[in-house]
Structure 1
Amino acid sequence: MNTLLDVSDRLYLDVADFAHATPHWFQVLAEVWTEAGLLVFGALFLAGWWRSREGSSRMMALALLAPLATAFGYVVSEALKSLIDEERPCRAVVGAPASLVTCPPHGDWSFPSNHSAIAGAAAIALALSWRGLVWLTVPMALLMAFSRVFVGVHYPHDVTVGLLLGGLVAFLVMRAAVRPVGTLVETARSSRNSAVVWCAGRGPRAHAPAHAERPRRARHGAY
């Protein structure tokens, strides 16, 4: 265990030295991305919900579950963090250069990385609900996790475990809840409340009457 921590310390120092050797604009970009990436994931959740309004009930269920599964990933990560009192590397690693962002206060523990857990959960949840996004969400999550080490507030093992933990929790939540949530979507789509129907979407059947009318007109015109 100590050997693994020593390796993580050395990797942290290597990344910290690399970070301080990069241009100032690149450092600022990393500082911005470490927080802004969460906003991008949020925008993708909204886009996924919007595109699912005319999709199947399962498609809408997955879109609705994506942010919920991500929240579960954060909760599990935070619970684990409260059990393991690991000091932040920006305070604990001897000889480390100053972190690019303010080092979190004592008591805001390091393991695992909540940012990475959220990123990992969001990447997997979005990939399951919107298959074509996997090539975008996974690199986004990896970059966000790396940025937490780059700015100096996490060890490499913090972000690695955070990514894997968040992704696993999101996968399990999505698989376990898709059927019951799909049933709720079906119920919402048959509601008489227009606001509920707007939120759940009308699904692919909303276009069925228009298509069904065309053959009838064609047959009537033939007589």
Structure 2
Amino acid sequence: MLEYLTEIDKIVFLSINQGLSNPFFDFLMPILRNPYTWAPLYLFILIFAIKNYKKRGIIMILFFLLSFGLGDMISASVIKPQVMRVRPCNDVPFKEQVTVRVRCGSGYSMPSSHATNHFAMGVFLLMVFRKKWKPIIWLSILWAASISFAQIYVGVHYPGDILVGSLLGILIGLFTSSIFLFFQPDEPRETA
């Protein structure tokens, strides 16, 4: 069964990495997955939260960072060393079929830390702001999904890595937002 899933993963990977290949994606996808691309967004979130929510905003930023930190630690330090899946761009002899559009990296592939981290942060923001700002629902998912998709397109992750990383990130985002909203609710809790 595992071999069958691995083969499906490789077929889907090649349909994205090779099948969707075009000059626009060749330009865009490396930019989407680059952490520096999103630095202005992170700065905006920091300023927005503190300016509009004061003390609650500072706590919100701490939980946003906690979402990222948990995602990165669990994916990179706990799961990857246990699974030890080789990246498609390093997978001999499969790498001969891979178009690598960024530096491959030497670390393991499963789960994608990019997917884990961005879905964790995206779901945290989604849960915190969904009642006040409806577009956050699709924007946060589109943001995390586009970064995750770019990981496949550039050749550094299989779709299965992205799927597992996304699910892990969603769970982490739900966990951190639940704690944040319990201790920092939008509305004061009524006492009996």
Superposition TM-score tier, normalisation by shorter sequence: 0.7 to 0.9
In structure 1, the residue matched to 2:26 is 27
Does the CA contact (< 8 Å) of 2:49 and 2:60 recur in 1?
A: no
Distance in structure 1 (CA, Å) of the matches to 2:43 and 2:163:
24
Offset at 1:63?
4.7
1:2 aligns with 2:6: no
Distance in structure 2 (CA, Å) of the matches to 1:177 and 1:82:
30
Residue of 70, 93, 98 corresponding to 1:72? 70
Offset at 1:145?
0.4
Distance 1:7 1:87, change over 3 A: same
Distance 1:70 1:62, change over 3 A: same
> Which of the pair has more CA radius of gyration?
1
Q: TM-score, normalised by structure 1?
A: 0.70
Helix, strand or coil at the partner of 2:34: helix
Offset at 1:40?
5.3
Distance 1:139 1:88, change over 3 A: same
What amino acid sits opposite 2:174 in the alignment? F
Distance 1:146 1:40, change over 3 A: farther
Offset at 1:43?
3.1
1:45 aligns with 2:48: no
Q: Deviations over 1:7-39 (max 9, x none)?
A: 0011111111135x301x431221011014543
Helix, strand or coil at the partner of 1:98: coil
Does the CA contact (< 8 Å) of 2:17 and 2:153 recur in 1?
A: yes
Report the structure, 1 or 2, having the larger helix content.
1
Does the CA contact (< 8 Å) of 1:149 and 1:155 recur in 2?
A: yes
Offset at 1:126?
0.8
Structure 2 unpaired stretches of 5+: 188-192
In structure 1, the residue matched to 2:163 is 160
Structure 1 unpaired stretches of 5+: 184-203, 205-223
In structure 2, the residue matched to 1:143 is 146
Does the CA contact (< 8 Å) of 1:62 and 1:174 recur in 2?
A: no
> What aligned pairs does 1:1-223 form with structure 2 within 5 A after superposition?
1-19=2-20, 21-23=21-23, 25-36=24-35, 38-39=38-39, 42-46=42-46, 47-53=48-54, 57=56, 61-78=59-76, 79-92=78-91, 93=94, 95-105=96-106, 108-131=107-130, 132=133, 133-180=136-183, 182=184
- Aligned-residue sequence identity (percent) comes to 23
